[in-house]
Chain A
């Protein structure tokens, strides 16, 4: 069966149109200019997530204002399970633990660690690790300690991906060097200038995950990077191959790339590790190399500065937390020409409200565009059902249908049509003749569905707690009843001893049979309650083994408690009935 399924999948993958679009790449602005290092900023602002909106990303500062820190010293610790520790990206004194964000609603203070540089460039790194002699767990722990997030865009903690891959057992590490977004050439430059660091990083991750082969996927518009990699492939300790794929946006989408390179198609509920693959970006691998071989925590990244409002576009390696304005000024920003600044690529990036904002680990590019270069889209018109978005969708969805459902408030129908497979790449926006903001709309619909799901989980938990409380009240009532029964029995026994000679109650027989039936029914109820309790116990055990989330476990505990209360109540009732029965 597995063979047939694989055959079918490969056939289906072969027949399905690849999707995607061919926007002008505009990479020639920056692609041959090397990587510069701009002067160090006088101040860095390391943004912290306070966990108000996303508790799983919460980070807490561990330094105080006025404290001196060296570059690489930890300034905040991870609290949420998807959070990463933050390290000082420059040496100097901590001047504040918040940032005044003008662009934010009402000019709110955002939690951050602000460091005023002292210009001394002191640094403090972790001890280097001999990766070939190190256990996989040590490498993974080092990646976690260095605070490395995936630098492709999602910003998911790198160590969690590696650990999941280690646990699931993968066979292939994919180096995602497609870099399909227009303008961006940071990965291209990293591969050309730092081939060693990227490939060694890949070897380390392969060692840590147990992957037996490495596949490097690169688009055919980067021949220099491809040949640089090809020349060094033989030095890798495990079989590695380079795969040059045609340039097409969004071939760098994780799922799309895995399908293209390995012919493995992921179902919507599958993660790459489920298909035996781990995917990492070259920048992330270079950072992992630095963290392991040099002990250098995540304090800087390579990004592309592009756009016609810059006199000196190019790729730079900048300290995290540097203000966007500082970097753009250094690249010769012409404010008269500037129409807007976009963080990320033009397809998936976000327009920036204020240039005071700092760069973060996920900032892979800054585009300072003039008005002619990236014009503001014309107002959206209604969908004319032309169907152009359908062949453009890399996930094989029907965007016009999803849009229809999402606009009609029928999010669940959109979900049934594969809404959660949408990677929000914006290929449909690009081809839409009505200029509909499709990808944005899909993002919002997903958010609405997630909120609804969380609400329904909450309601279920409230129901289970309500049931638990009712079960407890029933048990207490049954136990009270049993005690009352026992007291009454004791009283009647005393009375009977006094009138031992009196005649037997003629109704005793009838009462006896009635209570026998009663006891039998109660015994069945008690056995059922016992089975229910055991079932609830097993469900909880299974969930604990599968490492379900705390919410799920707490909910199952409530259900187990309910079952136990029911059992206790049934026990008490049975006991009371038996005492009644034995009464002569």
Chain B
């Protein structure tokens, strides 16, 4: 082997090394928050945080699925979620484990009957119940995920699960909506 070809090989190897290094550095430098598998799974879950899967929230279930837990444990997500998870993870779609009920629901407190025990407030995973001790409680329907977790702790059974209206109705002067009018009419 002549010297020139040796030089060529060495140069080639050096060039490959430099390019590889550069690409690796660029990849790390310009990596824009690429989601891990857990995040991708979590994004497919309905985020009701209901715990019907046996895990304390959607993210813990996403972590378990990544570790090999079955993908059919999410009743609020229903068949659509199972199919999406199967596609993402390359697993076989399974029949839903549990009663299929993916109609969106919202909790409603019969306010006359509420004794103000705050138990439902502590149970709500998304802080969607307002109230104070010995005061009437109420559900912020717009934030409620319909998870059912407030039903069991209620000592007087004054919470109903109602079907959710197709679009949440906002009226002026309640919580988020006063800001709606402000920001949208603020440019006047």
Contact = CB atoms under 8 A, between A and B. Distances in A.
Interface of A: 51-55, 58, 79, 81, 141, 163, 167, 454, 458-463, 465-470, 547-551, 553-554
A199 to B, nearest CB: 28
Nearest to A141: B188
Contact of A550 (B166, B168, B179): B179
A79 B171 CA distance: 8
B53 to A, nearest CB: 14
A81 B128 CA distance: 25
A460 B47 CA distance: 7
Contacts of B42: 463
Contacts of B103: none
Interface in B68-105: none
Interface of B: 42, 45-49, 57-59, 125-128, 143, 145, 165-172, 176-177, 179-181, 183-188
Given A81-B181, A466-B47, A553-B179, A53 B58 contact: no
20 contacts: A51-B171, A52-B169, A55-B169, A58-B171, A79-B171, A79-B181, A81-B180, A81-B181, A81-B184, A462-B49, A462-B126, A462-B145, A463-B42, A466-B47, A466-B58, A466-B59, A469-B126, A549-B184, A554-B176, A554-B179
Contacts of A549: 180, 183-184
Nearest to B104: A455
Contacts of B57: 466, 470
Contacts of A463: 42, 47, 58-59
A465 B181 CA distance: 23
B187 A462 contact: no
Given A81-B185, A463-B58, A550-B180, A468 B127 contact: yes
A395 to B, nearest CB: 28
Nearest to A544: B183
A421 B95 CA distance: 38
Contact of B127 (A53, A79, A469): A469
A1 to B, nearest CB: 22
Nearest to A470: B57
A98 to B, nearest CB: 18
A470 to B, nearest CB: 8
B73 to A, nearest CB: 17
A252 B172 CA distance: 37
Contacts of A79: 171-172, 181
Given A163-B187, A554-B176, A51 B127 contact: no
B187 A547 contact: yes
Contact of A52 (B59, B165, B188): B165
Nearest to B165: A52
- 10 closest A-B pairs by beta carbon, nearest first, are A81-B184, A459-B47, A465-B126, A462-B47, A550-B180, A463-B47, A550-B179, A55-B170, A462-B145, A466-B49
A468 B58 CA distance: 14
A459 B185 CA distance: 27
B167 A54 contact: yes
B111 to A, nearest CB: 22
Nearest to B185: A81
Contacts of B186: 547
A562 B17 CA distance: 43
Contact of B169 (A51, A141, A547): A51
A466 B125 contact: yes
B177 to A, nearest CB: 7
B187 A167 contact: yes
A58 B183 CA distance: 17
A163 B49 CA distance: 42
Contacts of A459: 45-47
Contacts of B167: 52-55, 454
A231 to B, nearest CB: 39
